[in-house]
């Protein structure tokens, strides 16, 4: 009985050969954009909207986004309540927000990623703000994370 079970298991393993799935990795590739190729109008928009979010922590006043600036999902997820909660934690650990410093621009098939170093009054602050701009020139995501010198494409 044990031999029959073992033989059946072996036949199942041999019979369940995995298929090779072809995947277009060009869609997933993210490439660094040269400084000369950066769209200055788009970069200014990413900078100003990213700064607007982080300055909320200093002023406690948030000017809501509109549909010409961000996608609907960003507009729904960027609420004053959520920002207040995040800001309380950021101010406690990092101090007051000072400014954003552009550290790099990356391009995928569907969007451009602006990578900023967020500068705060406390020296322990080592934060990054990523602003994602889609093909319609709308901010499709804003993400804050710990700074890492190496750009991790899996963190977006």
Give the model confidence (pLDDT) of 106-118 as tens digits. 999 899 999 999 9
Domain ranges of the chain: 39-148
Q: Which among 141, 143, 140, 119 is positioned nearest to 129, based on CA atoms? A: 143
User: pTM score, two decimals?
Assistant: 0.78
Instruction: Indicate whether 18 pLDDT > 60.
Output: no
Q: Residue range 89-118: average pLDDT?
A: 94
High-pLDDT (> 90) share of the chain, %? 49
Q: Residue range 149-155: average pLDDT?
A: 73
Out of 2.60.40, 3.10.450, 3.40.1350, 1.10.357, the CATH code matching 39-148 is 3.10.450
Query: Whole-number mean pLDDT of the chain?
Result: 84
pLDDT at 154: 61
Site of tokens 């040269």: 34
pLDDT at 25: 46
Q: Residue range 55-83: average pLDDT?
A: 89
Q: Residue range 43-50: average pLDDT?
A: 95
Question: Residue 76 burial (CB < 10 Å; 0-12/13-18/19+)?
Answer: exposed
């Amino acid at each position: 009985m044990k031999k029959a079970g073992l033989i059946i298991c072996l036949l199942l393993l041999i019979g369940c050969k995995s298929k090779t799935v072809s995947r277009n990795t060009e869609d997933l590739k993210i490439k660094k954009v040269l400084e000369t190729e950066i769209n200055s109008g788009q970069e200014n928009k990413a900078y100003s909207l990213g700064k607007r979010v982080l300055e909320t922590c200093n002023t406690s006043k948030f000017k809501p986004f509109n549909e010409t600036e961000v996608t609907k999902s960003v507009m729904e997820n960027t609420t004053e309540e959520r920002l207040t909660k995040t800001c309380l934690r950021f101010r406690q650990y990092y101090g007051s927000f000072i400014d954003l410093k552009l550290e790099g621009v990356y391009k995928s098939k569907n969007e451009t990623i602006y990578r900023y170093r967020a500068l705060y009054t406390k020296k322990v602050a080592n934060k990054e703000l990523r602003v994602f701009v889609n093909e319609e020139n709308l901010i499709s995501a804003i993400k804050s994370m710990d700074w890492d010198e190496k750009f991790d494409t899996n963190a977006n």
